[in-house]
Amino acid sequence: MQLEDILLPQRCFCKVPWRSKRRILTNISELISDQFEGLDPEPMYDSLMAREQLGSTGLGNGIAVPHCRVANCTEIIGSLITLEEPTEYDAIDGKPVDILFVLIVPEQKSDEHVTALAKLAELLSDQDLCFTLRQTLSDEDLYNIAVTS
């Protein structure tokens, strides 16, 4: 799996002012559903929150990878977000989060889901990349940096 297979420039959001986990997941559910016919924001949000109830997707070091399976989803969808200010996210290290990669996966794509999560964890463990993402000021640059890493 290549990052550009699941991430498009229109799903990169740089320095957004969202201030809570609930607001982040609500907004991204709405933004993604606007781009895909047949995907409703409420079930997507509910699935993301249900996954968070199982355990935070905050990986530590300011990184979170919220993810879920969604009915009516036909392809793996990624969205990269940086926050204007770090926000509490119940991350495993207790630190606030400011970089998120949201992953929405079709219900039946279990193997691809695991592969995508592993790729993202590897990518976002690169401290230099995360530093650069945090300094980036445009959606387009955020996309370009992510897919060339």
According to CATH, the topology of domain 3-147 is: Mannitol-specific EII; Chain A (3.40.930)
The predicted structure's pLDDT at residue 113: 74
Task: Determine whether 113 is an active site residue.
Answer: no
Q: Of the candidates 130, 75, 76, which has an alpha carbon nearest to the alpha carbon of residue 100?
A: 130
- Please answer whether residues 63 and 18 qualify as being in contact, where contact means their C-beta atoms are separated by less than 8 angstroms: no
Tens-level pLDDT at each residue, the chain (149 residues): 688 899 999 999 999 999 999 999 999 999 999 999 889 999 999 999 999 999 999 999 999 999 999 988 989 999 999 999 999 999 999 999 999 999 999 988 667 778 888 888 889 999 999 999 999 999 999 999 999 98
| 133-137 contact pairs (CB < 8 A, 24+) | 133/80, 133/82, 133/99, 134/62, 134/82, 134/98, 134/99, 136/14, 136/82, 137/14, 137/15
Going from N- to C-terminal start, the domains of the chain cover 3-147
- Active-site residue among 11, 21, 67, 113? 67
